[in-house]
A and B are shown apart, each in its own frame.
Chain A
């Protein structure tokens, strides 16, 4: 593009400046114009409604063990069939979704908290604090993630952790091992922000460091945080499901999409009763596609650098 048309965009912005919305409104408008992102958003809303409201309307009960009804193929009574204990697959799948979504979101929340804080500290203080935090980040980045998670999952099993509290451990573990990407991004942003004039103003005002970091610097990195966090929710859900599939994540009787799929480890179930494992697999796929679409839409909407 020739340099000559550049001022066109500048001009447009200045002219419209009077009627301009807040950056968030602009971002929202840009997001809603992205068809794929909106589809992703609808998909994820649907998954949430299905998992969190669906069970309320289910005529079945997880504790309906009726061997008479075991291993039924999908039918009008049991839309997705039943498992070997006669439990309704649809109901289990919806409840499993609660767990999987919860683990995904909470684990990401933990990762964001650690990553943003450490990244901000490293970027703000620099020098020795920066070196230490970034060194630790290097170590975490070089850790082979899946093997470590599997070992930790095995440790949880050996420590005889109660299956219902196991999901909390899992959230923490996945969260703690995923903070590095965000920490690096936030640090980078803080480093550039710190040099800008408004920070000199806070200096002149004599604000405390904590206030400078959390009130003035971190809020400016929120776009980056939102985008990275969204994308890593998908990662966390995939990780959880893989671990649960291998039997070292969420373990029965707590249902999760991953451990429902481990029904496929039984050759007969795998072959003859695909309704046991295909629906939860599709749920994982849909959720993770949806989140990735949203994340990408958010990146385009919030991060002007990648705007084309």
Chain B
């Protein structure tokens, strides 16, 4: 297992290099830079050039790539120009707000998807199954920003059930329980939308997986042993259906830390995705590059995690 992980990590290197080149090349195409984006009309050309030299923006692209890539190898993602802080610090500051939203949405969507998936498979073609199938399609087709806006308009603005946006009431300065409930109220809508978005395809996945498993010979054996249907479904079938699904857990990794950009923007949630969208209009290159690479790394690590989890879950692979 250890050898396998090391081999996989080594295989990631060329992929990461490729990714970094693509990402760097794209941002190098942008005319104008941080200095022009923020340029004070009064700032003299000389002053601008000075600043460029300070930030290393005057060098040719390939040199800048090597400097940037070399620094990243040392764990230095550069300094965000907008935040005047190392990129890693900025990520670390905001990523946890995204994580809160992500982990709850993950938990709820998996929970709902498992339950509905199992029952929908168990009662295939029933009325329940048909309703679930339709809901799944709707969830899979939702434009996140539009649903977010609809919910804000009707539930938050019109019915005033929830706050409109943000993570806590500004100026409240509450602590402890009050703060907690405040955040809870603010997070309800974004978490709900995020959950809806991922529940659709997950439910479908569990349903298909269960349908496949309940056709297997060992399920017939379990029934022939006289086990209760509940035991057959929840123990014998579900455990097997979970194995391929566990792989998906690894793929959730970038979603957990990457932030739901559009939703964070709409709900004014101070997460990393929101910061990222802002950084683009500010042309904060180091942050844009650093964060995109961070996401790509998360994706790769997530893939690896998925395979490792699969190996742990499936006794047939565990030994090898």
List residues of A whose CB falls within 8 A of some B CB.
Answer: 1, 36, 135-136, 138-139, 141-144, 146-148, 150-152, 154-155, 158-159, 234, 238, 241-242, 245-246, 248, 261, 264, 270-271, 274, 277-278, 281, 284-285, 288-289, 291-293, 296, 308
Contacts and interface: CB of A to CB of B under 8 A. Distances in A.
B262 A242 contact: yes
Interface stretch (B12-20, B97-105, B112-120, B307-315): B12-20
A144 B296 contact: yes
B29 interface: yes
Majority secondary structure of chain A interface residues (helix, strand, loop or mixed) = helix
Contacts of A155: 26, 29-30
B280 A139 contact: no
A175 to B, nearest CB: 16
For the side of the interface on B, what is the size category?
35 or more
Contacts of B18: 135-136, 139
Majority secondary structure of chain B interface residues (helix, strand, loop or mixed) = helix
A282 to B, nearest CB: 8
Interface string B172-188: 00000000000000000
Interface of B: 14-15, 18-19, 22-23, 26-27, 29-32, 124, 133-134, 137-138, 140-146, 149-150, 153, 157, 211, 215, 254, 258, 261-262, 265, 276-277, 280-281, 288, 291-292, 295-296, 299-300, 303
Contact of B137 (A138, A139, A271, A292): A292
A91 B18 CA distance: 45
Contacts of A293: 137
B143 A284 contact: yes
B292 A144 contact: yes
Contact of A147 (B30, B124, B295, B303): B295
Contacts of A138: 15
Contacts of B140: 292
Given A142-B19, A155-B29, A246-B262, A148 B292 contact: yes
29 contacts: A36-B137, A138-B15, A142-B299, A143-B296, A144-B254, A146-B262, A147-B261, A147-B288, A148-B292, A150-B261, A150-B277, A151-B26, A151-B30, A151-B292, A154-B280, A158-B31, A238-B143, A241-B143, A242-B144, A242-B145, A248-B280, A261-B149, A278-B150, A281-B149, A281-B150, A288-B141, A289-B141, A292-B141, A296-B137
Contacts of A139: 15, 18-19, 22
Contact of A274 (B14, B22, B141, B153): B153
Contacts of B300: 142
Given A142-B300, A148-B292, A234 B280 contact: no
B192 to A, nearest CB: 17
Contacts of A296: 137
Given A147-B291, A150-B280, A242-B145, A142 B153 contact: no
B24 to A, nearest CB: 11
Nearest to B18: A139
Given A264-B153, A278-B150, 4 more contacts: A139-B19, A143-B296, A151-B27, A158-B30
A278 B18 CA distance: 41
A146 B281 contact: no
Given A139-B19, A271-B153, A285-B141, A246 B146 contact: no
Contacts of B254: 144
A27 B141 CA distance: 24
Nearest to B260: A146
